[in-house]
């Protein structure tokens, strides 16, 4: 149920509505807009009719049911764009956020060199896996706590906020102590116990789309975080499984536009996992920006051929610098086409 308060509603009237929603066994989620306050009553209680009766309460302008299953991430409750602030870096605002770094943190030198190089090339956040979800139990599993310490050191030196994956409920508090943003990996998108636990931290969350999830399932996974009290969620498209075998995954860019149409949450794109091929990262990145992504997360390694994970889809430092320099190209190309058209009509 969405309860729209009138523009003149007082704080007391808003508090009264929140109290009634809670008395009826629902959760109240308050969205304060520039003109009016909207209160979402979310839950599966049986006292819906009592909520409808709030139409008569002072300060209430209108009450409508929420049509979508994703009640808090959907646009019905919030028309504007959510901006998630990660230690001073806004995601969802006018600037494209560029997150870069190694797939896995492998050593102090590897991480610090990469952090310096990506910052110099224009990255605004640093990524690096400490706990790695590997398909084979015999592959490198990440340095765990040692990697978290190194990430902290890299942030101290470069000022770049850090994002790293948390794989298990047991690690949530530890990872939250070190990281500025918690990554939920594609394999854990539907680990609802993990999502509920992460929601209690209020830390910004990067929620990757499962390779087998529909857009609806992805948004409902985000709904777990918002319903659990954490509104700081950024969605990340990282490719899905299709019949295509030439690429590791199929980067579903239309899903980025759809997620942005359906939700107020920021959406970023991971062209590294999305393609699995270094050569495709620049084109996929420019396409992601053109379709409306709020940012990119790209794997970068000092020497990709020696990487302990995902070397084939990692850029080296020069490649990453070229990528950031090339990101304004679609805009320039569109400008050229426009001026050609203009010239031919005069
Ligand atoms: C990663 O970011 O290195 C990673 C494992 O991503 P995903 O969960 O999308 O596979
Ligand atoms: Mn990776």
Query: Is the confidence at residue 346, as pLDDT, over 50?
Result: no
Q: Which tokens sit at 277?
A: 């091929």
Confidence at 45, pLDDT banded by 50, 70, 90: confident
DSSP 290-302: HHT-SEEEEEB-S
Taking the CA of residue 188 as reference, the ligand 1 atom at the shortest distance is: 8
Give the residue with greater pLDDT, 106 vs 52: 106
Tell me the per-residue pLDDT of 265-280, one tens digit each, with 9 for 90 and over.
Answer: 999 999 999 999 999 9
Query: Is the confidence at residue 222, as pLDDT, over 60?
Result: yes
Q: How confident is the prediction for the chain on average, in pLDDT?
A: 93
Q: β-strands 205-208, 60-64: how paired?
A: unpaired
Give the residue with greater pLDDT, 239 vs 333: 239
Query: Which of helix, strand or coil describes residue 84?
Result: strand
CA of 37 to the centre of ligand 2 (A): 41
Lowest mean pLDDT among 62-66, 126-130, 136-140, 306-310: 62-66
Ligand nearest to the CA of 276: 2
Largest CA distance in the chain: 68
Domains along the chain with CATH numbers? 2-64 (3.30.70.1140), 84-344 (3.20.20.70)
CA of 133 to the centre of ligand 2 (A): 9
Confidence at 120, pLDDT banded by 50, 70, 90: very high
Q: Which tokens sit at 6?
A: 């009138």
Taking the CA of residue 236 as reference, the ligand 1 atom at the shortest distance is: 9
175 exposure class (CB count in 10 Å sphere: 0-12, 13-18, 19+): buried
Per-residue confidence (pLDDT) for residue 47, from 0 to 100 = 84
Tell me the per-residue pLDDT of 228-249, one tens digit each, with 9 for 90 and over.
Answer: 999 999 999 999 999 999 999 9
- The pLDDT of 178-196, averaged and rounded, is 98
What's the CA angle centered on 158, arms 154 and 159, to 5 degrees?
100
Confidence at 105, pLDDT banded by 50, 70, 90: very high
Residues of the chain with pLDDT > 90: what percent?
86
Ligand 1 pocket test: which of 133, 187, 312 has the largest number of ligand atoms within 8 Å of its C-beta?
133
Tell me the per-residue pLDDT of 63-89, one tens digit each, with 9 for 90 and over.
Answer: 998 888 889 999 989 989 999 999 999
């Amino acid at each position: 149920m969405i309860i729209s308060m009138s523009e003149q509603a007082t704080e007391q009237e808003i508090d009264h509505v929140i109290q009634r929603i809670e008395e009826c066994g629902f959760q109240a989620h308050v969205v304060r807009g520039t003109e009016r306050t909207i209160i979402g009553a979310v839950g599966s209680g049986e006292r819906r009719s009592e909520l409808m009766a709030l139409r008569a309460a002072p300060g209430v302008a209108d009450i409508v049911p929420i049509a979508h299953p994703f009640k808090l991430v959907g646009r019905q409750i919030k028309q504007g764009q959510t901006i998630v602030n990660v230690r001073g870096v806004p995601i969802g605002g006018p600037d494209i956020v560029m997150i870069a770094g190694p797939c896995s943190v492998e050593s102090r030198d590897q991480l610090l060199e990469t952090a310096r190089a990506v910052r110099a090339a224009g990255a605004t956040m640093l990524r690096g896996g400490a706990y790695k979800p590997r398909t084979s139990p015999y592959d490198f599993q990440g340095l765990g706590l040692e990697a978290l310490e190194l990430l902290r050191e890299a942030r101290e030196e470069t000022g770049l906020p850090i994002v790293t994956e948390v794989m298990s409920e047991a690690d949530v508090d530890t990872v939250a102590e070190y990281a500025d943003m918690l990554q939920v990996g594609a394999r854990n998108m539907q680990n609802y116990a993990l999502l509920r636990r992460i929601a209690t931290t209020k830390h910004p969350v990067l929620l990757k789309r499962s390779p087998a999830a529909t857009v609806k399932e992805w948004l409902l996974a985000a709904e777990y975080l918002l319903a659990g009290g954490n509104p700081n969620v950024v969605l990340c498209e990282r490719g899905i499984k299709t019949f295509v075998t030439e690429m590791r995954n199929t980067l579903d860019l239309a899903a980025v536009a759809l997620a942005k149409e359906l939700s107020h949450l920021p959406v970023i794109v991971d062209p590294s996992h999305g393609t699995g091929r270094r050569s495709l990262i620049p084109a996929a990145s420019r396409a992601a920006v053109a379709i409306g992504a709020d940012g990119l997360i790209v794997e970068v390694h000092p020497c990709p051929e020696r990487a302990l994970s995902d070397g084939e889809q990692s850029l080296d430092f020069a490649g990453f610098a070229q990528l950031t320099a090339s990101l304004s190209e679609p805009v320039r190309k569109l400008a050229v086409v426009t001026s050609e058209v203009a010239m031919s009509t005069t």
